Amino acid sequence: MNDLSAESYRVLVVDDSPSILEIVRVTLTLHGFQVMAAESGERALEIMENEGLPHLGIFDINMPMGMDGLELCEKVLQFSDLPIIMLTAIDENSTIVEAIDRFAEDYMTKPVRTGEMLARVRRVLHSIGKFAYPLAQFVEVDENLSVNFATLTAVVQGKEVNLTPTETKLLYILMRQQGKIVSTDFMLRRLWPSDADFADEDRLRVYVHRLRSKIERKKHGVRYVFSKRRKGYVFLPEDD
C-alpha cells in the first residue's frame, strides 16, 4: 500500500517516554505524515485546543505521572470520534480488551516495530477515511459556520455558540462523512459505544434537533443537517 497521500494526514502521538516519542515521530515524519507530539495527556489536549484535531491519535496507555491513555481517550471521545491506536507495554489482556472495546481502532505493543506501526496506521486511516474538511483550530465549513471541537464551540454567523460534548461529537461524525448518508445504527454505535441501553433513535433525534437549533438559521436559508427517512442523516451545506 502507498502512503495514502500521507502529507495530508495529521497524527498526534502521545507518550511519556522521550525515546519512544522520538522514534514514532521521526518514523511517521520520514514517511510524509504531519506529526504533533505530546509527552502527556494534558499537553495533548492543549495541542488539540490550540492547533486543532489530528486525523489519527497514537496514545500510550500507561502514563503514570498524569492522565493515562484511557483517560485521554475518554476525554477526546467526548467531543470527537477520533480514530485511535493504543500503544502499550502492558502485558494484560484485560487492559487491551478494555481499550479496544471502549476506545480504540487498534493497538500496538512496545518495543515499537516501525514497519508494523506504519501498516497499522495506514490500515486505520484507510478504513476510517479522511476528514472532509481541513483540520485547524477552527474547522471552517463556510462563511456561516466554523467549529473548534476541542473547546466545544462553534461560530455561527459571527457569534460564538457553546455545544455540549454529545452535540460536538455528533457534528464531528456528520462532518467527517460530509455529503454521505450516515446510518442511524452507525451513529448510535459511535456516540454511545458502551451504553446500548442509553442509545436509541429517539434520543438521537433529540440531539440532532438540538444541534440544528444551534448551528442552523433556517429563516436565512442556512441548513446543514438533513434527515433521510429510514436511512440516517447527512451533513450537506447549502452551497453543496
Residue 17 shares a structural domain with residue 124 = yes
Q: Looking at residue 2, what is its pLDDT?
A: 43
CB distance 72 to 59 below 8 Å: yes
User: What CATH number does residue 28 fall under?
Assistant: 3.40.50.2300
CB distance 79 to 108 below 8 Å: no
Residue 121 shares a structural domain with residue 201 = no
Kind and range of the H or E run holding 56: strand 56-60
- Threshold 0.85, pTM exceeds: yes
Confidence of residue 92 (pLDDT cuts 50, 70, 90): low
Residue 144 shares a structural domain with residue 119 = no
Of 103, 128, 153, which marks where a domain is finished? 128
Distance CA 56, CA 82 (A): 6
Q: Looking at residue 91, what is its pLDDT?
A: 67
Of 107, 128, 149, which marks where a domain is finished? 128
Residue 185 shares a structural domain with residue 100 = no
Show the domain range for 195. Answer: 139-235
Question: Angle at Cα 189 formed by Cα 238 and Cα 48, nearest 5°?
Answer: 65
pLDDT tens, residue by residue, 31-85? 999 999 999 999 999 999 999 999 999 999 888 788 999 999 999 999 999 999 9
Residue 185 shares a structural domain with residue 90 = no
Cβ contacts of 16 within 8 Å, gap of 6 or more: 39, 40, 60, 63, 64, 65, 66
Residue 148 shares a structural domain with residue 197 = yes
Of 108, 128, 148, which marks where a domain is finished? 128
Mean pLDDT for the chain? Answer: 90
